[in-house]
């Protein structure tokens, strides 16, 4: 187990809380500036990464925002302890980007559709951990015992209905990137800290050279086996010739 501190998750929660508070200011530009609007005329390139910090400044969202923060603290903290800072950041930004692209493509032509809030990247985190540790037992929200695999399935179902109510195609658009999260988690993908491109390139070169060496050894073994087979066949034919000569 790595250090129990989780500064990245704490920093992410603080930034989301600040965005939520600022959104309460009258005429706050947070929502309009950070949300991902699917209308090409209102779409901003940076919004594919910033929409998790876009929240409506109203009290109706407060309760669900608090629950989402607790969920991020648990899931994000576990991910931070299981991987490293680079992997954590790449997964968060990558999840936001992939979800944003998928959602915006499917939502083309729909009226008044936009993407806001951290729900989709958090769901990506949860499904990634489900793929990485499918049999790990946890307490869902500290109450219901289940495995991470069940949590991942439950998160995918809630994501579909949460984003697809009244518009199933948007639900599918929200769920589709979670398949990538599961695949990455099941392969325990992560970035390795402290390794330069040169180090990675050198390791790949060594692996390629080893593969070539292994293939060459196998080729020589096949050639040796074939020569041995031909030798035995030749000796057998000589023996047959001797036997036939003696029989005469």
Do 23 and 113 belong together in one domain?
A: yes
Looking at the predicted structure, is the pLDDT value of residue 19 above 70?
yes
pTM: 0.71
Q: What is the pLDDT of residue 195?
A: 54
Do 220 and 152 belong together in one domain?
A: no
Looking at the predicted structure, is the pLDDT value of residue 13 above 90?
yes
Beta strands in the chain (DSSP E): 36-37, 114-115, 137-140, 144-147
Closest Cα partner for 74 from 135, 20, 155, 19?
A: 155
Within-domain flag for 2: no
Last residue of a domain, one of 165, 186, 207: 186
- Identify the residue whose tokens are 């035995």: 232
What are φ and ψ of residue 61, in 5° steps? -90, -10
pLDDT tens-digit readout, 216-243: 888 888 888 888 888 888 777 776 665 5
Q: What is the pLDDT of residue 1?
A: 39
Last residue of a domain, one of 142, 166, 186: 186
Q: Check if the beta carbon of residue 30 is closer than 8 Å to that of residue 54.
A: yes
CATH number of residue 89's parent domain = 1.20.1540.10
Do 170 and 49 belong together in one domain?
A: yes
Q: Which of 18-22, 55-59, 120-124 has the lowest mean pLDDT?
A: 55-59
Q: What is the pLDDT of residue 2?
A: 44
pLDDT tens-digit readout, 168-223: 999 999 999 999 999 988 887 776 555 555 665 666 577 667 767 877 888 888 88
Closest Cα partner for 156 from 172, 170, 167?
A: 172
* Separation of alpha carbons 103 and 111, rounded Å: 14
* Separation of alpha carbons 156 and 124, rounded Å: 9
| Partner residues linked to 138 by β-bridges | 146
pLDDT tens-digit readout, 23-42: 888 777 777 788 888 877 77
pLDDT tens-digit readout, 82-122: 888 888 999 999 999 999 999 988 988 787 888 888 999 99
Looking at the predicted structure, is the pLDDT value of residue 75 above 70?
yes
Last residue of a domain, one of 162, 186, 210: 186
Do 199 and 146 belong together in one domain?
A: no
Domain count, the chain: 2
Within-domain flag for 1: no
Domain of residue 244: give its range: 195-248
Looking at the predicted structure, is the pLDDT value of residue 59 above 80?
no
Q: What is the pLDDT of residue 45?
A: 86
* Separation of alpha carbons 208 and 211, rounded Å: 5
């Amino acid at each position: 187990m790595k250090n129990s501190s989780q500064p990245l998750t704490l920093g992410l929660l603080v930034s989301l809380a600040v965005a939520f508070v600022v959104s309460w200011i009258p005429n706050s530009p947070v929502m309009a500036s950070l949300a991902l609007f699917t209308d090409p005329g209102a779409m901003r390139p940076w919004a594919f990464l910033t929409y998790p910090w876009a929240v409506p400044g109203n009290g109706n969202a407060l309760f669900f925002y608090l629950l989402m923060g607790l969920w991020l603290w648990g899931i994000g903290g576990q991910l931070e302890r299981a991987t490293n800072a680079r992997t954590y950041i790449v997964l968060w930004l990558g999840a936001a980007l992939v979800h944003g692209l998928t959602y915006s493509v499917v939502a083309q032509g729909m009226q008044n559709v936009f993407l806001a809030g951290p729900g989709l990247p958090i769901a990506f985190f949860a499904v990634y951990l489900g793929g990485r540790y499918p049999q790990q037992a946890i307490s869902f929200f500290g109450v219901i015992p289940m495995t991470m695999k069940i949590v991942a399935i439950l998160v995918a179902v809630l994501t579909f209905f949460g984003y697809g109510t009244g518009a199933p195609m948007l639900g599918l658009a929200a769920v589709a990137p979670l398949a990538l999260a599961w695949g990455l988690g099941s392969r325990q993908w992560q970035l390795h800290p402290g390794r330069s491109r040169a180090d990675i390139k050198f390791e790949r070169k060594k692996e390629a050279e080893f593969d070539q060496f292994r293939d060459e050894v196998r080729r020589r073994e096949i050639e040796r086996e074939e020569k041995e087979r031909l030798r035995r066949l030749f000796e057998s034919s000589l023996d047959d010739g001797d036997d036939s000569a003696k029989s005469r």
